[in-house]
Each structure stands twice: as structure tokens, then as C-alpha cells.
Structure 1
Amino acid sequence: MARYVIDAPTLLHLVDTGVLVDPRHRLVAPNSIRSEALDLLLHEVSAGKRTEAAAMEAHERMTETKMRLLGDRVSRRTAWRIARQHGWDTLRDAEYIAVAQLQADALVTVDARLAAMARGTVTVAAVDDLLASE
């Protein structure tokens, strides 16, 4: 069993594509992931990329995703340290990297920017690594 951190864009990707995560793997994320995913859905509805009904359906599937949400003081403090070390203006990306550093084997993201930021600090894995192997 492996533990993978996923971010909000990756959560929506899993929901939208119907990817079935290998049940032997555990998904973890900061507490903020659901709010961030809702922000992404709202943006897509506002931009006309998704209907409101489709966004609410995605939200329902998103809440069914089995994932352990983490938001302890240690991960927030680690996120703070990471953001300060790299000179970042927000903790958003640092939170995912901190959770990966403290609680997971790798970070899985469809966000190329976050993947580039995380490389060298944590292992970055592909979405395919979440799938059950035959």
C-alpha cells in the first residue's frame, strides 16, 4: 500500500475521468482540498466550461472520494517553513508538499506547475500510479 497526496485539480481529474484508485492505496490531502476544488468548479461554471448541474454532480462524486484529510499543526508549520524557504506568497502549494513530506510516499498532481515546485523536495508520481496493477 502506498500513500499519495493529491491536490484539488487532481481530485477533479479523478472525479471527471472516473479513475478508480487501487483500493490498496490511500489518498491524503490537506483539509483545504475540498474548498479549493469547489473554487475550481465555481470558476469553470462562471467561465461557461461546466454547467451548474454538472458542477454539483462533480461535487457529489468528489465528496464520495475516500481520502484522509489532514490539517494538523505540524503540517501547517511545515508548509509555512517550505513557503518561506522558497519565497512563496501563499501556503496553498506548500500545504500539499508538506503533507507529502510528512504523511505520504509521493505527491500526485495534474498541475505541472505544482509538480515542478515539488520536485527535489518530495517524490512526484503520475496519476497512473494510483491505478490498480494487473
Structure 2
Amino acid sequence: MTRYVIGLDVALVLAEQRAKIPGHHRLLAPTLLRSQVLAQLFADVQHGLVTRKEANQRLDYLRGLQIRLLGDRSLQQVAWKLAEELGWKDTFAAEYLALTKLQADALVTRDVDLMWAAGKLLTLASIDDLLS
């Protein structure tokens, strides 16, 4: 079984495509993913990029993926340390790195800045890897 931490960008792509995740993969994300997804889909509806019905369908799809959402004290401590080391202004992105470092095999993101930071610290994977 391969454990992947997915970023917001990847969660949204999976929801848009309604991608089938192979049973031998497990998805993880920081608990903040839930709020990030909701906020992004709300903004997309407000900007006319998707309909409210489509946004709800994407939310339902993501709820059905059984993503293990984590945000314990250990993750927070590691995220804090990583954000400090990387000189970031907040810990949001660092939570994805911390979770990958603590509990996953690889991080899946299309965010170039996050990929750059993660590439120095942990293993990266692509959406294709996740879907295979």
C-alpha cells in the first residue's frame, strides 16, 4: 500500500475528473484541506467558473474518497519547524510537507513552489503515479 499526501490542487483535479483511485493507495491530507477545498469551490462558484451543483458534486466526490485528515500536535510541531527553516510566512503549506514526512510515502502536488521545497526534503509523486 502506498500512502500519498495530496495537495489542494490535486484534490480539485481529482474531483473535477472524478478520478478512480486504485484500492492499494491511501490518501492523506492535513485537516486544513477540508476548509481549503470548500473555500476554493465557493470562490469558483462566485467567479462563475463552476455551478453550485457542480461544486456540490465535487465536494461529494472528495468526501467519498475517504481521505485521512490529520492535524495532531506532532504534525503541527513539524510544520512549524519546517516553515521556520524555509522562511515561510505561515504554516499552511508546511503542514503538507510535515504530514508527508511523518506518515506518507510521497507528496502529490502541482504547486511549483511546494514541489521545490518538498524536493529537498521528501519524495514527490505525480497524479499519474497516484492513479496507477
TM-score by length of 1: 0.93
* 2:83 alignment counterpart: 83
Indicate the RMSD between aligned Cα atoms, in angstroms.
1.1
Matches within 5 A, 1:47-62: 47-62=47-62
Deviation of 1:21 (Å): 1.2
DSSP-derived class of the 2:50 partner:
coil
Structure 2 residue runs of 5 or longer lacking an equivalent are none
* Residue 5 (structure 1) aligns with: 5
**Equivalences, count:** 132
Q: Percent identity?
A: 39
In the other structure, the counterpart of 2:128 is 128
Asked if the contact 2:79/2:95 (under 8 Å) is kept, the reply is yes
Q: Deviations over 1:57-83 (max 9, x none)?
A: 111111111211111100110000000
Aligned partner letter, 1:48: G
Q: Distance in 1 between matches of 2:62 and 2:110?
A: 16
- What stretches of structure 1 move > 3 A for 4+ residues in a row? none
CA deviation profile, 1:11-55 (whole Å, cap 9, x unmatched):
111111122111111111111111101111011112211111211
Unmatched 5+ stretches in structure 1: none
User: Counterpart of 2:94?
Assistant: 94
Distance 1:41 1:76 in 2: 26
Residue identity in the other structure for 2:46: S
TM-score (normalised: structure 2): 0.94
Q: 1 CA distance for matches of 2:110 and 2:17?
A: 12
Aligned to 1:18: 18
- 5 Å matches for 1:23-62? 23-62=23-62
Q: How far apart are the structure 2 equivalents of 1:101 and 1:39?
A: 26
